[in-house]
Amino acid sequence: MAFSRLVLIIEYDGTDYYGFQLQACQPTIQEKIEEALYKLTGRKTRITAASRTDTGVHARGQVVSFRTESVLPDETFTRGLNYYLPKAIAVKAAYRVADSFNARRDAVSREYRYYILNSPTRSPLRQRFSYQIPGQLDIEVMNQACRALLGKLDLASFASALGSIPRS
């Protein structure tokens, strides 16, 4: 049977997870997706993500890819995985792509958002998605600091050596 490569577009609330990447004895997003893939296809499958997240971090539009022998239609992957995944993790879409596709190397951009809740009281609706600062913010100083981040940045020094990333 021939293998094909699938891409999943996922989103998750990472509050109860120890990041994306597999970790011994700690629940992770990768672990839950690979478990769901096993339940759906009957095969152990290793996935690769465009990027990894840390403990408690959420993602929207995260791209993961994997090789599979399964001939299930893309829509069945979406529905079937969502059936087996915990409510905090969802597959938004599944697509077949060229076998040469690599989620990490072929990502053209990544966007990170950080939210500040500037309030003297906590917000049960925002606590999972923002950092609370109860005191007065100095907007001028914050804007000055943010100017250093404008433009295109080369963050390669924060990444693994590209040659050492295994293809899956």
Residues carrying an active site annotation: 54
Angle at 111 between CA 109 and CA 115, to 5 degrees: 175
The CA distance from 41 to 27, in Å, is: 21
Helix (H, G, I), strand (E, B) or coil at 64: strand
Is the four-CA dihedral 37, 167, 4, 48 of positive or negative sign?
positive
CB-based contacts of 66, cutoff 8 Å, min separation 6: 5, 6, 8, 37, 45, 46, 47, 48, 168
Tokens coding 114: 């950080």
Location of structure tokens 């990333």 = 165
45, 68 contact by CB (below 8 A): yes
